[in-house]
């Protein structure tokens, strides 16, 4: 898998500011995410659903966008040929590399780089996956990442995205997810009320988390020319969307 060098997206002032914010946030929080992710049953279910929808096979060249400390990349590596694992936080990539070497996994290449700047040769990849990362991108950068991924895939290759997927209350699923999140936090008393205030700010101002609905993801996949696009709700807020590059 070669890189063609010319970076594509993420060059506006808004994108640059977001990339810098994500880098700071995730460098600060890398160890606690690394520590907690494996014990979170909801997250594990989403990772497993991404793997199932990806149908990984021996010899495949795989890219994991926003790989964190390797929750998906290290799950796929023993099955496939190679994995390029990309994350904006150097600390996450360091954790991924140390987990890979502890597990004797030698076919994962970590790249500390924003997704928005990754540029690979067209048709050079069999599978692009991402878990719980793309909601951190600005909406135009999400669509650009899907278009870029579609371009990297060989005909018949797959893009599979697992993420929190809900809008701001336009449909019944959105409203059910938002109310269940609120109910959970309310039950925690004053600590939960503080989280509600903080999360409402993040959600309304969309400066840290920018989830969009399953339908919005389906539209992005379809607009990028992917076919057989399917959206699968997994747990509460989380869903998986997959699509295939036409042959
Ligand atoms: C919630 S964690 C998920 C990590 C991992 N994929 C998992 O399933 O546990 C989100 C990850 O996305 C990464 N991230 C956020 N914005 C990014 C960007 N613009 N480019 C690359 N990585 C990014 C963060 O550094 C973080 O590691």
pLDDT tens across 130-148, in order? 999 999 999 999 999 999 9
Phi, psi dihedrals of residue 106, rounded to the nearest 5°: -115, 5
Residue 72: closest CA among 149, 145, 165, 162 = 162
Clarify whether residues 43 and 144 are in a common domain.
Answer: yes
Distance (Å, rounded) from C-alpha 11 to C-alpha 183? 39
At 154 the pLDDT is: 98
Is 19 a pocket residue for ligand 1 (Cβ < 6 Å)? yes
Residue 67 has pLDDT above 90, yes or no: yes
Distance (Å, rounded) from C-alpha 39 to C-alpha 26? 19
Total structural domains within the chain? 2
Q: Which domain holds residue 240?
A: 13-165+211-245
Clarify whether residues 121 and 38 are in a common domain.
Answer: yes
Cβ neighbours around 206 below 10 Å, total: 15
For residues 66 and 134, the answer to whether their CB atoms sit within 8 Å is yes
Clarify whether residues 132 and 200 are in a common domain.
Answer: no
Does residue 5 lie in a domain region? no
At 37 the pLDDT is: 86
Residue 127 has pLDDT above 70, yes or no: yes
- Determine which residue's CA is closest to atom 20 belonging to ligand 1: 114
Does residue 2 lie in a domain region? no
Does residue 7 lie in a domain region? no
Residue 123 has pLDDT above 60, yes or no: yes
* CATH code of the domain containing 238: 3.40.50.150
Q: For 211-229, what is the mean pLDDT?
A: 97
Percent of the chain with pLDDT over 70: 88
Is 132 a pocket residue for ligand 1 (Cβ < 6 Å)? yes
Distance (Å, rounded) from C-alpha 66 to C-alpha 131? 7
Pairing of strands 226-235, 61-65: unpaired
Distance 73 CA to ligand 1 centre (A): 12
* Lowest-confidence region among 11-25, 57-71, 195-209, 210-224: 195-209
Does residue 186 lie in a domain region? yes
Q: Which residue has the higher pLDDT, 56 or 205?
A: 56
* Lowest-confidence region among 74-78, 132-136, 203-207, 222-226: 203-207
Distance 133 CA to ligand 1 centre (A): 4
Q: What is the length of the chain?
A: 247
Distance 163 CA to ligand 1 centre (A): 11
Clarify whether residues 119 and 182 are in a common domain.
Answer: no
At 6 the pLDDT is: 39
Is 26 a pocket residue for ligand 1 (Cβ < 6 Å)? yes
Clarify whether residues 87 and 111 are in a common domain.
Answer: yes
pLDDT in tens, 146-205: 999 999 999 999 999 999 998 876 778 777 777 777 777 677 777 766 666 666 666 655
- Determine which residue's CA is closest to atom 8 belonging to ligand 1: 131
């Amino acid at each position: 898998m070669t890189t063609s060098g010319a970076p594509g997206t993420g060059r506006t002032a808004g994108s640059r500011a977001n990339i810098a914010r994500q880098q700071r946030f995730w460098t600060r929080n890398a160890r606690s995410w690394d520590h907690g992710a494996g014990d979170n049953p909801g997250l594990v279910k989403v990772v497993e659903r991404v793997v199932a929808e990806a149908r990984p096979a021996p010899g495949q060249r795989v890219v994991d966008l926003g790989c964190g400390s390797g929750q998906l990349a290290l799950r796929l590596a023993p099955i496939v040929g190679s994995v390029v694992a990309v994350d904006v936080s150097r600390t996450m990539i360091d954790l991924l590399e140390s987990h890979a070497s502890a597990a004797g996994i030698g076919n994962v290449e970590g790249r500390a780089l924003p997704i928005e700047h990754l540029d690979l040769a067209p048709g050079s990849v069999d599978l692009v996956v991402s878990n719980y990362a793309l909601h951190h991108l600005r909406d135009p950068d999400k669509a650009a990442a899907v278009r870029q991924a579609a371009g990297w895939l060989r005909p018949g290759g797959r893009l599979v995205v697992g993420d929190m997927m809900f809008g701001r209350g336009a449909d019944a699923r959105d409203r059910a997810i938002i109310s269940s999140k609120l109910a959970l936090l309310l039950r925690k008393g004053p600590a939960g009320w503080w989280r509600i205030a903080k999360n409402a700010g993040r959600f309304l101002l969309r400066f840290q988390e920018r989830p969009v609905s399953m339908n919005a993801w389906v539209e992005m996949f379809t607009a990028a020319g992917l076919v057989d696009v399917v959206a699968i709700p997994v747990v509460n807020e989380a869903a998986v969307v997959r699509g295939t590059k036409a042959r």
